[in-house]
Amino acid sequence: MTDNADDLRRWRLPRGRHGLPRELVARSQRERLLAAVVRVTAAKGYEGMSVADILEQAGVGRQSFYELFADKRDCLLAAHDVLVDDLEATVAVALEGPQPWPERVRATLAAVLDWFAANPDATRVTLVELAAIGPIARERFQDSFHRFTTLLDEGLDAPQVPAELPNITSLAAGTALARIYEETVWGRTSDLPKLLPELTFELLVPFVGEDVARSTADGEVT
């Protein structure tokens, strides 16, 4: 989102005739609602929160909410899309550069872990709470996961993918994601960056072998 949730929560349109363009008003309301639904869902869970909770957190009226979203599910899915787009942009930037692929993977994983740690509400919503929505949540997750593994594959250069493991990127990334999910469920999101060496090794070892994976995980130049 364009501003952090606290900033969006504090910002208010002036009362009465403010003369602001309708487009600006709607954009502000939408951003505040997206920030609010993330915070409320992280605090109460998807099943436990209501549209009224979102409105109270965002400071937006019910009529304005329904002009923008069909229901709380629609609002949460929109927020999820914004978060995933932001995380994908973070991954794309981290994967750029002249360094060998293993080093870029480590830098990317570091950026992802930092993103999760800095956004605990967003992390819980995208990795845990979204599943409560139902089948569409699984579709969104699979789509998001595919987007990230595609980025990794596109940056792959020297390493060779074993013929017997055609889905090796998905398997390796899935292992790392499972550990991140576990830490999030246990409320240890802020500690995720500490997992960088361990997850780097696990993600790289199927591609480059134990020696290169270990040296890269330890921060040594390969």
The CATH number given to whatever domain includes residue 47 is 1.10.10.60
pLDDT at position 22 is: 64
Give the Cβ contact number of residue 150 at 10 Å: 11
Can you state the angle between helices 120-127 and 101-118, rounded to 10 degrees?
A: 100
CA–CA distance, 207 with 197 (Å, rounded to integer): 16
Question: Is 209 in contact with 182 (CB distance < 8 Å)?
Answer: no
**Quick one: 103 and 164 in the same domain?**
yes
* pTM for this entry: 0.84
pLDDT at 13: 38
**H or E stretch at 35:** helix 22-44
Query: Which residue carries 């930037």 as its tokens?
Result: 93
Backbone angles phi, psi at 154, to 5 degrees: -65, -30
Structurally, the chain folds into a number of domains equal to 2
pLDDT in tens, 73-84: 999 999 999 999
Indicate whether 79 and 42 sit together in one domain. no
Instruction: Kindly state the tokens that stand for 28.
Output: 């502000």
pLDDT at 18: 45
Residue 103 lies in a domain: yes
More confident residue, 9 or 91: 91
Query: Could you say which of 69, 92, 109 is where a domain stops?
Result: 69
Return the residue matching tokens 């549209």.
Answer: 51
Q: What is the pLDDT of residue 161?
A: 54
Q: What is the pLDDT of residues 144-165, one digit of tens each?
A: 999 888 888 876 664 455 555 5
41 plus 148 within the same structural domain: no
- Mean pLDDT for 197-203 is 95
CA distance 5 to 10: 9
Secondary structure letter of residue 115 according to DSSP? H
Please indicate whether residue 203 or residue 24 has the higher confidence score (pLDDT): 203
Examine the domain organization and report whether 100 and 48 are in the same domain.
no
105, 209: one domain: yes
Same domain, 114 and 209: yes
CA dihedral 55, 80, 126, 141 (to 10 degrees): 140
Question: Is 80 exceeded by the pLDDT of residue 167?
Answer: no
Sequence-distant (≥ 6) Cβ neighbours of residue 173 within 8 angstroms: 145, 148, 149, 152, 203
Residue 178: give the domain boundaries.
Answer: 74-217
Residue with tokens 């293993």: 102
In a domain, 222, yes or no: no
For residue 75, what are its two tokens?
């609002």
Query: Across residues 119-131, what is the average pLDDT?
Result: 94
Note whether 161 and 122 are same-domain residues: yes
Is 88 inside any structural domain?
yes
**Residue ending a domain, choose from 26, 42, 69:** 69
Q: How confident is the model at residue 171 (pLDDT cuts 50, 70, 90)?
A: confident
Q: What is the predicted pLDDT for the residue at 222?
A: 52
